[in-house]
Amino acid sequence: MSAVVIVGAGQAGCQVAASLREEGFDGEITLVGAEAHLPYQRPPLSKGHLTGKVDRERLFLRTSAWFTEQRIELRLGQAVDRLDTATRKVCLTDGEVLGYDVLVLATGSRHRELDVPGRDLGGVVALRTLCEADALRDRLAAARDVVVVGGGFIGLEVAATAAALRRSTTVLELGPRLMGRVLSEPTANFLLRAHRERGIRVELGTEVRGLAGRHGRVQSVTTSANEVLPADLVLLGVGALAEDCLARAAGLTVDQGIVVDEVLRTSDPAIHAIGDCARLISPWARGSSVRLESVQNAVDQARCVARHIVGRSEPYTALPWFWSDQGELKLQIAGLAAGHHDTVLVGSPGQSAFSVWCFAADRLIAVESVNAVKDHLTARKILAAGIPVTPAQVAAEGFSPKALLPA
C-alpha cells in the first residue's frame, strides 16, 4: 500500500497516522480535517479548558513540527465534498482530489439537535469542537443562570464546572435517571444526590418546550412542567449522532453509524471506519452491534487499523472503558453495563468512594467506579483477562478485587 488518506483529524484520525509510522509504514499519509486547528484532545473542553486550568497549547495532540518530521501531509480547514470509491478518490470542497490505496474514515459524531422554539437565540450553545468550547468559556465567564439540557457525560461535566464557578446551575434530563443509557441505577442515583448536594438543581423526566429571549439573546427556558427558568446561558447536550453522511452518499453500509467488520473494514474493503462514527459487533456487548464514543475506543481502533494496513491483521476486541470528571467526582467505567441483571456494591458511597459491579447471568460485564481508581484499573484487568467472578464472591465480606488477579 502506497497511499493512505485519513478523513477526520480528531483523536482517532491522528492516532492512525501516528500508529502507521510506528508500525513502519513508509508510504504517503494525508490527514484531512474540517477544523483549521491541529488535532486536539476533546475531554478537557468540558472541564479544564472552561476554567482556564488547561491552556490551549496543552490541548493539541501533536505539534506542526511532528507532522513534518513524520511526513504526514495535513489538509486542515478542508471539508470532503464526496468520495469516489470506483476510482479511489477523495474530493475536497476546494477542488483538490486525493488518491488513495486505503481510506480511513474517522469522521466522528455530530450534535443531536433539539428542535424547539428559540434554539437559534444567542447564548444557546453546544459543545463538541474547540471553537464551541472557546465560545462556551467566554459566555460562562459572564453568565449568571446556566441551564444544561441533558444529563449525560458532557452535560454533567459542564454543570459541575459551572457550579464550581458559582453560577446558578440547573440540569434538565428527559429520562428517569442521569446517564441512564450507560450507568447502573445505584451509580446514577449516587450522582443525582451528589450533584444536588453541591447546589446543582437536577430535574428528571423533564423536557424543554421552548426558549425565550430578548434582543436576540436567551433569557429563559420553559419546561414540560410549565416552569419558566431564568437562563442567560443554555447548553444543549442531548447526545450525538454518527457523522456518517459521507459514507452513506458513497454507498457504504450505514446503520446509525458506518458498519464495519471485525477488522474495522466497511462494505468497501479499501475503506476502514473508526472511532465515534463506526458501528461494529462487539464481544463486550454480548454479540450486539455498538457505536462507542471514547478516547480509548478511538485510540485502540486506530492502532488496530494501522496494524491491518501493514499486514498484521487481527480482530478488534479491546475492552471498552470510559471516564468522566464531574467536579471532584471521578467516574470510571470498565466494560458495558447495558443489559445487566444484578449489581453488587463495593466500598462506601457515603464517602464518595465505591464501585458497582454489574452482572448478567452471573457473568461480570462491567464495573463502575467513583473515586476508586485502583478498583477501576483492577477491574479492567479482570474483564480483559476473562477471569470468572460471581456476585457472591464480590458480595463476600473482605472482598478484594486484586485477589482475583494471578499472583
pLDDT in tens, 211-261: 999 999 999 999 999 999 999 999 999 999 999 999 999 999 999 999 999
Instruction: State the cell numbers at 97.
Output: 482530489
CA distance 196 to 200: 5
Please state, in angstroms and rounded to a whole number, the distance separating the CA atoms of residues 171 and 148: 5
Give the pLDDT band of residue 1 (cuts 50, 70, 90). low
Checking 350-353 for CB contacts under 8 A at 24+ apart, the result is: 352/194, 352/328
Q: How far is CA 76 from the centre of its chain?
A: 22
Res 200: pLDDT = 98
**Side-chain-facing half-sphere of 16: CA atoms under 13 Å:** 32
For the chain, state the CA radius of gyration. 22
Q: Angle 283-61-75 (CA atoms, 0-180°, nearest 5)?
A: 95
Please tell me what DSSP assigns to residue 349: G
Whether 263 shows a pLDDT value over 70: the answer reads yes
**Inter-axis angle of helices 185-197 and 153-164, to 10 degrees?**
20
Strand order in the sheet with 258-259: 258-259, 278-281, 289-290
pLDDT for 184 equals 97
Q: What is the DSSP letter of 35?
A: S
pLDDT, tens digit, for every residue of 78-133? 999 999 999 999 999 999 999 999 999 999 999 999 999 999 999 999 999 999 99
Q: Whole-angstrom Cα distance, residue 5 to residue 126?
A: 29
Structure pTM? 0.96
- The single-letter code of the amino acid at 35 is E
- Count the helices and strands in the chain (H runs, E runs): 10, 26
CA pair distance 263, 4, nearest whole angstrom: 17
- Is 338:181 a contact under the CB 8 Å cutoff? yes
- Joined together, the cell numbers standing for residue 253 give 453500509
Cα–Cα–Cα angle for 110, 298, 352, rounded to 5 degrees: 90
Separation CA 265–CA 208 (nearest Å): 40
Which domains are seen in the chain, by residue range? 3-110+241-309 (3.50.50.60), 113-238 (3.50.50.60), 328-404 (3.30.390.30)
**Strands, sheet with 80-84, edge to edge from the N-terminal-most edge strand:** 80-84, 89-92, 97-99
Report which DSSP code applies to 40.
B
Amino acid (one-letter) located at 199: G
